[in-house]
Amino acid sequence: MNERMLRIDIYSDVICPWCYVGKRRLEKALSLLDGTLRTKVTWRPFQLNPTMPKEGMERTEYLTAKFGSVETYVRVVEDQIVAAGSDEPIPFAFGKIARTPNTFLAHRLIWYGEQQGCQNELVELLFKSYFQNGADIGSRDVLAGLAEQVGLTAEAFVFGDEGTAEVQSEEAVGRRLGIRSVPCFVLDQTYSIQGAQPAEQLADAIHEVWSNKKTN
């Protein structure tokens, strides 16, 4: 890799609201840094619910199973996320989400997006479609339609199995790195930042890793 390029791998799941917040905060962090710092951002798979049925689950059923009740989730988690989103700004619309999907197919599409040079745009659209429009991003038809919106003809890919082994391999790398929660930002394959940290903190960490990279 070009010695003046800093690699940033982001382990995330597209149904993780903090990952959406983390994306916005990383974008702010990069804007705070001077233009001499070049980065290559790559999105890596991390399934929050790897045992989720392939067809997903009705959202209230999922929240009840995970948190005890929908009311507990709203009180403990959702209100905090909505508040964080308002600062970015991300207009979370949790009320529109009817199903919690299995995200493996979405991760395959994200992998394909990297091969085609439109990964970041695709990740942004997946986040927006799920959290703002309530789209079922576990559906092959929905994913094929979203791919078209970023100029990617992917129907054959979505309905095939290409990328399955590669996504599984990338997930295994994350486990070997000890990643247990997301978002997780891995800088230059050496330094990791867990959670959707403030933009200033992300910028400081990126700058430090970049400085060390230039002097080594």
- Express each pLDDT in 103-156 by its tens digit: 999 999 999 999 999 999 999 999 999 999 999 999 999 999 999 999 999 999
Q: Is residue 75 part of a domain?
A: no
Q: What is the CATH number of the domain that holds 20?
A: 3.40.30.10
Residue 173 in any domain: the answer is yes
Instruction: State the pLDDT at residue 15.
Output: 97
Report if residue 80 sits inside a domain.
Answer: no
* Mean per-residue pLDDT of the chain: 94
Dihedral (CA of 65, 194, 11, 192) sign = negative
Q: What is the tally of structural domains in the chain?
A: 1
If 0-12 CB within 10 Å is exposed, 13-18 middle and 19+ buried, where does residue 152 land? buried
Query: Does the residue 47 lie in any domain?
Result: yes
- Tell whether 68 is covered by a domain: no
Q: Is residue 61 part of a domain?
A: no
Residue 174 included in any domain: yes
Is 94 inside a domain boundary? no
Q: Can you give the residue range of the structural domain that contains 117?
A: 5-55+102-215
Average of per-residue pLDDT across 157-179 = 96
